[in-house]
Amino acid sequence: METVPKLGNNVPPKKDKLQGKKKKPRRYWEEETTQTAAGASPGPPRKRKRNRELRPQKPKNTHSTKKSRISKKPQVPKKPRERRSPGPQRSLSGAQDPFTGPAPVPVEVVQKFCRIDKSKKLPRSETKIRSRLEAAEAQEEEISVKAARSELLLAEEPGFLEGEDGEDTAKICQADIVEAVDIASAAKHFDLNLRQFGPYRLNYSRTGRHLAFGGRRGHVAALDWVTKKLMCEINVMEAVRDIRFLHSEALLAVAQNRWLHIYDNQGIELHCIRRCDRITQLEFLPFHFLLATASETGFLTYLDVSVGKIVAALNARAGRLNIMTQNPYNAVIHLGHSNGTVSLWSPAMKEPLAKILCHRGGVRAVAVDSTGTHMATSGLDHQLKIFDLRGTFQPLSARTLPQGAGHLAFSQRGLLAAGMGDVVNIWAGQGKASPPSLEQPYLTHRLSGHVHGLQFCPFEDVLGVGHSGGITSMLVPGAAEPNFDGLESNPYRSRKQRQEWEVKALLEKVPAELICLDPRALAEVDVISLEQEEKERLERLGYDPDTKPPFQPKPKQKGRSSTASLVKRKRKVMDEEHRDKVRQSLEQQPQKQEKAKPMGARPSALDRFVR
């Protein structure tokens, strides 16, 4: 991002001669500079002089650029602002660039892209290692600065809903919102009156463009809900428990009364998977191409849809499973049980990764937000709780609802929707990463029937609600991520693009066994086997080659090699090492002490008497 044109990287040395022979054009700025420089009238003899004045600048410039290219250390500054060179650089035109150097980048945005966890203190390292670490950090910084720069391309901003002073946003009904927004957005609010085929489950495709829904009494339909173009509509003549799009909108998994069926977007049945029977809930893990199914028989089955194999069938040993959700951050499946626990599952482990006791009664609904930090649960005890999933699994907040929530859903931006009877409540958080505060609902809406399925539409401020009276598409300002990744999930993609993407996604498929609670653990060293190997090596060698041999003083001449002096020297080295250790530990201590000191208030001389 250098705005300054480089002055001749490869200026041939002959140039001087060339100038001497050739007559240069007279440019008005030349006159100007000569005037300012010499304060004399313009004339042709000045030209040479000016050239000479200019020349020393060139090699310097080239030198500096060359150096930066050669040197191993990337010259990325700590703060992007510092990169501005102190002196204004002259461009060819002689005009000064008022904004020299690369454009500044806000530090917070850069911070967002930094992924090296610097909170942990490293053991003291040698210079070689330190230089490696520094290089890694500099590289990361460079990348994050670049990423922060490209943040500029995310032009869209999330929507919002604000009440006039003192007005409660929850009182604003859908009709008001529809009236206020533009026509295109207003068209996104609609109701499908389908009273005949019972309560509906629904699912949006990953791009947010397509909607599939299945009624209890066998009605299955898929449509492009934005244009309202119906893709297919069939009646499977069997109870439909759940419905889910697979990796693209072309495939549709339907959990029917007996077995799991897969249809394409024409409504043609492609597969009937008899190994998955009596399925109650479906969940699709897009990056692993796994379809997770929870059955009445208490089995959690993972089906790899790319190869059609069952990866794992896990017995949860907790009776009928009818509450399931996935953690989008680490692809762990959360199951809710009737004994008030939520268990976390991975296909690689036969037992749950974790079990959390959430409610006194049974769990009725579970939802995990897109960052994987918060989990919302509701139970038979009429409580709605939000848990922190980052290691502690403790409830952050809880509310008693008049009637416990039967369905929960998180939006991309962390809004929480709860379906209670025929009412949908939506709560919003303070910031993006904060959990939704349950103090005040953000929006409420009453439906014509009982809620049976809830999902926020990706990349659209829309909440789809399946209920006994059909389907309702609600407008929820600020629910979805405003900017989509065109290469990842493009709502406007063509068939060809979808096929391209499909191939790429299949190539990047994540193996099922990598699913674990902390996905970043994969970037850690396997310490146990490392230690084991180290131990074996030691045993093989019979000694530790890494340990420094104890200091052996060299014999000295002229009677200075007496035993006493040898011991003395040994002692000296030992003391030095000890002092080093103490110094090191002291270096770490003051940080702790500083923390302990109470902040604020003027330090008083009497502070020392406070015990």
Partner 1 sequence: MSLSASAPGPCEIQAGEMSSSRAAKSSLLALNQQGELEDLPRDYPLSTSEDEGDSGGERKHQKLLEAISSLDGKNRRKLAERSEASPKVSEFSVNSEGSGEKLVLSDLLEPVKTSSSLAAVKKQLNRVKSKKTVELPLHREEIHREVAFNKTSQVLSKWDPVAQKNWQAEQLVFPLSKQQSIFPPIEHVVSGWKARTPLEQEIFNLLHKNKQPVTDPLLTPTEKASLKAMSLEEVKMRRAELQRARALQSYYEARARREKKIKSKKYHKLLKKGKAKQALKEFEKLRKVNPAAALEELEKLEKARMMERMSLKPQNSGKWAKSKAVMAKYDLEARQAMQEQLARNKELMQKIQVASESVEEEGGAEEEGEPFVPDVVNEVQVKADRPNPWMFRNHSGDTKEAEVQGDPEELAEPAAQEAPESEEEGPVVAEEILLKEFEERRSLRQKSGLNQIAKPVGSQEAKDLSSQEVLSELRALSQKLNRESHQSRKQELSSTRTVLAVQRGEPSGEEEEPLLLQRPQRARTLDELEELGKEGCFQNKELPRAAVEGQQLERNPSNHLGVPKEKKRKEQMTDLQNLLTTKSPSMKSLAVPTTVEELEDEERDQRQTIKEAFAGDDVIRDFLKEKREAVEASKPKDVDLTLPGWGEWGGVGLKPSAKKRRRFLIKGPEGPPRKDKNLPNVILKEKQNIHAVAHQVRMLPYPFTHHQQFERTIQAPIGSTWDPQRSFQKLTMPKVVTKPGHIIKPIKAEDVGYRSSSRSDLSVVQRNPK
Binding to partner 1 in span 521-580, by CB under 8 A: 521-530, 533, 546
Nearer to partner 1, 333 or 423 (CB): 423
Q: By CB under 8 A, tell whether 147 contacts partner 1.
A: yes
In whole angstroms, how close is the CB of 423 to partner 1 at the nearest point?
4
What is the size of the binding site for partner 1 (CB under 8 A)?
130
Written as six digits, the tokens of 607 are: 């502070």
Q: At what angle do helices 28-38 and 46-54 cross, to 10 degrees?
A: 80
Q: By CB under 8 A, tell whether 92 contacts partner 1.
A: yes
Site string for partner 1, 482-501 (x = CB under 8 A): -----xx-------------
In whole angstroms, how close is the CB of 260 to partner 1 at the nearest point?
25
Q: By CB under 8 A, tell whether 207 contacts partner 1.
A: no
- The sheet that has 190-193: what strands, in order across it? 190-193, 470-475, 462-467, 451-456
Query: What is the distance between the alpha carbons of residues 530 and 525, in angstroms, rounded to a whole number?
Result: 8
| Options 16-24, 230-238, 452-460, 555-563: segment touching partner 1 (CB under 8 A) | 16-24
Q: By CB under 8 A, tell whether 4 contacts partner 1.
A: no
Nearer to partner 1, 78 or 568 (CB): 78
In whole angstroms, how close is the CB of 369 to partner 1 at the nearest point?
17
In whole angstroms, how close is the CB of 232 to partner 1 at the nearest point?
32
The dihedral of CA 314, 319, 325, 329: what is its sign?
Answer: negative
Nearer to partner 1, 203 or 489 (CB): 489
Please state, in angstroms and as integers, the Cα–Cα distance from residue 420 to each residue in 42, 172, 191, following that order: 86, 19, 19
Interface residue with partner 1 among 267, 298, 361, 482 (CB under 8 A) is 361
Return the residues of window 22-81 that contact partner 1 according to CB under 8 A: 22-29, 31-33, 35, 42, 70, 72
Written as six digits, the tokens of 207 are: 């791009």
Nearer to partner 1, 123 or 431 (CB): 123
Per-residue DSSP letter, 57:
H
| Options 99-107, 194-202, 514-522, 567-575: segment touching partner 1 (CB under 8 A) | 514-522
Q: By CB under 8 A, tell whether 585 contacts partner 1.
A: no
In whole angstroms, how close is the CB of 231 to partner 1 at the nearest point?
29
Return the residues of window 99-128 that contact partner 1 according to CB under 8 A: 115-117, 120, 122-123, 125-126, 128
Nearer to partner 1, 8 or 106 (CB): 8
- At which residue do the structure tokens 């299955």 appear? 220
Site string for partner 1, 385-424 (x = CB under 8 A): x-----xxxxxxxxxxxxx----------------xxxx-
Q: Which of 284, 345, 273 is nearest to 310 (CA)?
A: 273
Q: By CB under 8 A, tell whether 205 contacts partner 1.
A: no
Query: What is the distance between the alpha carbons of residues 5 and 90, in angstroms, rounded to a whole number?
Result: 9
Query: What is the distance between the alpha carbons of residues 234 and 267, in angstroms, rounded to a whole number?
Result: 7
State whether residue 337 is helix, strand or coil: coil
Nearer to partner 1, 503 or 523 (CB): 523
Interface residue with partner 1 among 37, 95, 230, 574 (CB under 8 A) is 95
Please state, in angstroms and as integers, the Cα–Cα distance from residue 163 to each residue in 412, 482, 486, following that order: 22, 21, 34
| Options 214-222, 241-249, 476-484, 602-610: segment touching partner 1 (CB under 8 A) | 602-610
In whole angstroms, how close is the CB of 355 to partner 1 at the nearest point?
4
In whole angstroms, how close is the CB of 394 to partner 1 at the nearest point?
6
Say how many residues make up the chain: 611
Do 416 and 367 meet the contact criterion of CB atoms below 8 Å apart? yes
Q: Which of 487, 481, 483, 471 is nearest to 424 (CA)?
A: 471
- At which residue do the structure tokens 């140039």 appear? 15
| Options 242-250, 259-267, 300-308, 598-606: segment touching partner 1 (CB under 8 A) | 598-606
| Options 146-154, 245-253, 277-285, 568-576: segment touching partner 1 (CB under 8 A) | 146-154
In whole angstroms, how close is the CB of 289 to partner 1 at the nearest point?
16
In whole angstroms, how close is the CB of 119 to partner 1 at the nearest point?
11
Question: What Rg value do the Cα atoms of the chain yield, rounded?
Answer: 34
H or E segment at 474? strand 470-475
Please state, in angstroms and as integers, the Cα–Cα distance from residue 64 to each residue in 49, 362, 369, following that order: 25, 69, 49
Listed in sequence order, the residues at least 6 apart from 41 whose beta carbon sits closer than 8 Å to its beta carbon are 35
Query: What is the distance between the alpha carbons of residues 68 and 265, in angstroms, rounded to a whole number?
Result: 56
Return the residues of window 162-191 that contact partner 1 according to CB under 8 A: 168, 170-171
In whole angstroms, how close is the CB of 454 to partner 1 at the nearest point?
14
Query: What is the distance between the alpha carbons of residues 237 and 525, in angstroms, rounded to a whole number?
Result: 53
Nearer to partner 1, 272 or 521 (CB): 521
Q: By CB under 8 A, tell whether 506 contacts partner 1.
A: no
- At which residue do the structure tokens 């002692």 appear? 571
The single-letter code of the amino acid at 304 is D
Interface residue with partner 1 among 61, 235, 306, 339 (CB under 8 A) is 339
State whether residue 607 is helix, strand or coil: helix
Query: What is the distance between the alpha carbons of residues 258 and 296, in angstroms, rounded to a whole number?
Result: 10
